[in-house]
Each structure stands twice: as C-alpha cells, then as structure tokens.
C-alpha cells in the first residue's frame, strides 16, 4: 500500500462542494457520538437503579456497520439534505468515530500499546480540519494527468501532474483503493491510497552496513563519516512567525465567552500564520524524504536507535529543536523504504549505550555529559566525535545481530548493566550468545524492522 498526494486547484464552487461533504462527515460523526453517549449514560443510570442487565436500554453497536445502520434510519429527520452529498461523506464521519471508540475501548482494557486514548470528542465546525474520504464510485486520473474525477465532486484540476501514478495505472501495476480530500495549511490536497505491485530492488551497496545517529547539531551522523546538516527550518522561519503572531494579536479575534466572532482581518492573519507553518512542514518533509530515500537505496543494512522522543521533548531547552528535526519521522520512513528497496532496517535497543561505548575497544563509560562533544576513551586512548562514535557502534551491532553463516546473535540490551568506567567489554566469538530477537527473519527484499531486545 502506497499513498500519492497531489495539490488541487479548486474553483469557488468546487470548494463549496468539498466543504459541504466535509461538513456532512462532521454532522454524522457528532450525531452518532451523541447517540452513543446518551445510551451509555442511560444504561449507567438504569444500572444504578438496580435493574438487571437484560432490562437495560439496548446498547448501540460501535462498529461501522452498526453506526451506519442507525444513521440510515435517522438521517431523514437529522439531515433532510442527505441526498445532496455522497454517502461516502457520512461514512467518513462514522468510520472515524468507530475507530476512535475501538481505540478508547482497547486502551481501557490494556490491549492497545502506547499512551492512554481518551473518549472521542465532538468535532467543531471552526476548529476541525475539513476532510472527506471516498472508497467507492468513480475514482480515476484523467488521460491528461492534470485532472482527477471523484464521486459527486466531478472533475477536479491538479496543481501538478499525476504522471507517476498514471504510469502505474496504465501499466496495470497499481489499483486505487480510496481517495481523501483534505485541506492543509490553507491548501486542498487529494491523497490516493494505492495497492502497488512493486518490482524487486537491490540497494546500490547491498553488503554495506551503515549506522545512523540522529542529533540536533547534525541531523544525522553516519558511520561512514558523512555529516548531514540540520537545516532547522523552524528556527529560520521563527522571526517571520513572530511578526505574524504580533500582527494577529492586534486584530479582533473570536471570544467564546461572549460569542464574538473573529473579524475578516483576523481570519486573513490567521491564514497567513497557517501557511507559514505549512511551509516549514513541507520543507522538513522534503528534506527527510530525500535523506531516507538516499540511505535506503544505497545501503543494504541501516541501523538506527529506538529513541524516546516523547521523553526528550520534556527538556524545555531542546524541545523545539528536537521537534524541528523529526527524529521519529526518520525511523518511520526508513522502516518502509528499506523494504521497498531490498534492504533491511535494524533498530537498536532504547537503552543501548551507543554514545558511552568506545568503538575501538568496547569499554563503556559510566557517565557522559551532554556537553562533552568529544569521546575520549581512558582505556585505549581513542579520541573521536561522540556522534561518529555512536554511529560506529550502531553499525557494529549488525554483525552481532546477524552474523554470516551462524544466524542471528543477541545484541547488548536494556538489562545489561553499564560497565564501570574503564572496564573493557567481554570479547566473544560471533554467534555464541543466545538469540534475543523478536519476530522472524524475512528474506531479502521484504520489510525488516527487527528490534534488538534484551539479552538473555
């Protein structure tokens, strides 16, 4: 599955039609959510009265099919204009609610990993990002490759050519599964979810291993001694954003307490800030895609770290720079691009001391302050940039993890205690330690995202 995203050039009438579909999705979502909450509250009240479960108000199914059945029965009264928009608009809102309820329920039961998920909230007309998804009907790219056709919306003009998608469709190596129209940063985009038949690929250097250490001073430091500069797009645009923010503060904005609506000038100033943020996001996305594509198409094995980005953002002095770098996005893109290009991605354990380990002799320091930018080994005397040293250690993990001819070996993991300063790491023959990996070894050309887990 692959997504193709294109900008749209909509006329005023087409924009009104898209907004009507997005509004219909919001109405269906809010109605179904109110229905679910009312039934839940009614059942809770009846249960407090001592009624048995068989006498309680019948519950409403939280699945998409159950919500759609309830909506179809009530839509003539709730939305008498329902025939003016596509049925996919209502399906968009109901599907979002069904997924939100399932995530909330799984989070409460403990079957969903990650942060606790809250109960779905009502969508506001002014604060919700307009979006509508089409899964059925006429969804195609026109022969001129500058127009697309969507159900009920008709023929929409693209801002750029869709030749990359059109070539795959003409060759029969791709099939459009759905199309989503969404407004981001004041601009409308259409995103196609496509099922693609991908040809087997081989990286330019299939036998080469590269360790990637991400950071703030340099976006990435490779074990090959290459330094990738951090463009810091947000810092570069900070002066303009501050000026736009001051201009916005001088306009008459909305007031929820008195019900005052924002002035036209406030809306235009807010739109300018939105476009500035969208430009920063686009520049960051473009740079990360170019970096990850180059790594995935060049090296056969890429080793990265499993960073606790959420915990790193708690540092108020570095949070803005960490968020601007996009550490998690680098790993996410490498996860699927290495599979596309016939390589593999190895993820080091979160607690693996890559920066405190000497890449020459293996000695591990007890402490290494953040301001110490040079790694100095007290055992072998190695003096090296700390980021380059970390990248070399990450690259060396590939040999421990998957030694040639003897199968995978366990990497040093979270339960391995940090050795005392100056203590030399134990030397072992490859493949002699127990296996400590999750998942199975996939053949060459398949997506490989193995986590170097705790050593046994």
Active site residues: 213, 305, 387
The CA distance from 72 to 192, in Å, is: 27
Q: How many CB atoms lie within 10 A of CB 361?
A: 14
Angle subtended at Cα 53 by Cα 49 and Cα 54, rounded to the nearest 5 degrees:
120
The values of phi and psi at residue 200, to 5°, are -65, 130
The CA distance from 434 to 260, in Å, is: 67
Up-side HSE of residue 40: CA atoms within 13 Å toward CB? Answer: 10
On whether the CB atoms of residues 159 and 8 are closer than 8 A, the answer is: yes
Tokens of 454: 């705790």
The CA distance from 37 to 46, in Å, is: 14
Q: Which has the closest alpha carbon to 347: 195, 186, 202, 212?
A: 212
On whether the CB atoms of residues 366 and 380 are closer than 8 A, the answer is: no
Sorted by sequence, the CB contacts under 8 Å of residue 80 that are 6+ apart come out as none
**Whole-number Cα distances in Å, 407 to 432, 436, 449:** 10, 12, 17
Residue 348 CB burial class (10 angstroms; 0-12, 13-18, ≥19)? buried
Tokens of 257: 């307490």
Tokens of 129: 């990002």
């Amino acid at each position: 599955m692959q997504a193709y995203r294109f900008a749209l050039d909509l006329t005023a009438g087409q924009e009104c039609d898209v907004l009507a579909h997005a509004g219909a999705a919001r109405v269906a979502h809010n109605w179904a959510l109110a229905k679910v909450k009312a039934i839940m509250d009614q059942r809770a009240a009846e249960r407090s009265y001592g009624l048995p479960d068989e006498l309680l108000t019948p519950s409403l199914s939280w699945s998409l099919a159950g919500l759609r059945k309830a909506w179809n029965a009530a839509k003539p009264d709730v939305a008498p204009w329902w025939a003016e928009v596509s049925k996919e608009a209502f399906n968009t809102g109901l599907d979002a609610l069904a997924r939100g309820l399932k995530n909330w329920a799984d989070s409460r039961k403990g079957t969903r990993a990650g942060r606790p998920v809250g109960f779905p909230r009502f969508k506001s007309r002014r604060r919700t990002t307009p979006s509508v998804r089409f899964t059925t009907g006429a969804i195609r790219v026109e022969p001129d490759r500058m127009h697309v056709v969507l159900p009920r919306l008709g023929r929409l003009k693209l801002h750029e050519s869709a030749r990359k998608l059109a070539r795959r469709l003409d060759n029969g190596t791709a099939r459009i599964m759905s199309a989503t129209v969404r407004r981001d940063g004041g601009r409308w985009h259409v995103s196609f979810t496509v099922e693609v038949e991908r040809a087997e690929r081989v990286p330019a250097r299939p036998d080469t291993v590269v360790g990637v250490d991400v950071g703030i001073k340099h976006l990435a430091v490779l074990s090959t001694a290459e330094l990738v500069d951090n463009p810091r797009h947000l810092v570069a645009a900070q002066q303009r954003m501050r000026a736009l923010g001051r201009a916005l503060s001088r306009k008459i904005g909305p007031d929820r307490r008195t019900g005052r609506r924002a002035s036209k000038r406030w809306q235009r100033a807010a739109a300018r800030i939105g476009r500035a943020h969208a430009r920063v996001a686009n520049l960051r996305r473009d740079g990360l895609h170019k970096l990850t594509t180059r790594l995935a198409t060049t090296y056969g094995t890429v080793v990265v770290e499993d960073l606790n980005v959420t915990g790193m953002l708690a540092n108020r002095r570095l949070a803005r720079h960490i968020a601007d770098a996009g550490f998690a996005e680098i790993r996410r893109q490498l996860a699927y691009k290495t599979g596309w290009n016939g390589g593999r991605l190895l993820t080091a354990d979160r607690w693996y001391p890559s920066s405190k380990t000497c890449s020459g002799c293996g000695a591990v320091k007890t402490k290494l302050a953040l301001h110490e930018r040079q790694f100095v080994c007290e055992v072998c005397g190695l003096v090296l940039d700390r980021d380059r040293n970390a990248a070399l250690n990450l690259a060396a993990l590939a040999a421990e993890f998957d030694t040639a001819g003897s199968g995978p070996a366990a990497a040093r993991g979270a339960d391995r205690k940090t050795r005392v300063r100056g203590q030399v790491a134990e030397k072992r023959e490859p493949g002699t330690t127990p296996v400590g990996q999750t998942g199975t070894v996939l053949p060459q050309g398949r997506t490989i995202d193995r986590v170097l887990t705790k050593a046994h």
